[in-house]
Structure 1
């Protein structure tokens, strides 16, 4: 009986408290020509570097697995023909995604905190849609930054509104 209770407790604990966060899909903006350095840890030893192959339209895509203040732990590769590399890359404005079903101009709502649609901070009207920078993620929410009227604006959106694809708008 004692072992049955312990087993049930461990099962309940493992199902409720130890959930894996799904990685956040992203891309390196197709116009970015520079090298992306991959490190063994934040501010650590450089392992290798990759870059978009603009001539062959073979762009970098990645899965962000973990976030620090300045770095992402990623799995990164070229979309068409690349070996996956795992390591830390420095956060930058060229790491992000596009909006799904992007129109030239669209309304965008950004929230103050994830998972709380009552915390609305900005409803941006007639935003000229484009690339959004990923700053952070939590489960089904992604913190993004955009340029709007000459200013940098950031906030949280539902991850399913993003299209991590340099080739289409994920319609």
Structure 2
């Protein structure tokens, strides 16, 4: 009976969402349709959005919550004031850039969403590649990238995030 209780508790915790306050954008090269759902399990679709590649009007968002497979977001095109709140599936096109604009600067990705945790990856060279947002907690983003066949991932601190698809965040 104890094992069943532990299994239930672990399953319950893993299905819970956590609060977030992070920003990002849909990869500006993507024409993929982003389905917006009213619920956190993707059962009821309420809208479909996509980047306007012709007019360079890209989807930007603020993540409000995260669970295992979905983010709750406020999302809309950057040049329009209209935003919709709903859940989007975690996909590789949900991205953020980093603010490591110099080869002389080191970007740390951490094992936990705090500066006291161990460093999981150190990036010492400038890159224009986006990071896929895998998760968030508070203002921290769990960033993931594959570069030259190597997986680079970890928690990206808030001051090193650039959620702007149009410019750097200097």
Would you say how many aligned residue pairs link Structure 1 and Structure 2? 152
Q: What's the offset of the Cα at 1:94?
A: 1.1
Partner of 2:149: 150
Q: 1:29 to 1:125 in 2, by over 3 A?
A: same
- Partners of 1:131 and 1:102 lie apart in 2 by 13
- Partners of 1:29 and 1:105 lie apart in 2 by 27
- Higher-Rg structure is 1
- CA deviation string 1:52-101 (max 9, x = no partner): 00000000000100001110000101011252111100001111211126
Partner of 2:44: 45
Structure 2: gaps (5+ residues): 1-17
Q: 1:45 to 1:22 in 2, by over 3 A?
A: closer
Q: What's the offset of the Cα at 1:22?
A: 5.6
Contact 2:65 2:71 in 1 (8 A): yes
Q: 1:99 to 1:124 in 2, by over 3 A?
A: closer
Q: What's the offset of the Cα at 1:151?
A: 2.7
Partner of 1:86: 85
Q: Residue 25 of structure 2 is aligned with which of 24, 27, 31?
A: 27
User: TM-score, length-normalised on structure 2?
Assistant: 0.80
- CA deviation string 1:21-50 (max 9, x = no partner): 562111111001110000111221111100
Q: What's the offset of the Cα at 1:103?
A: 4.7
Structure 1: gaps (5+ residues): 1-19
Q: What's the offset of the Cα at 1:170?
A: 1.1
User: TM-score, length-normalised on structure 1?
Assistant: 0.80
Partner of 1:36: 34
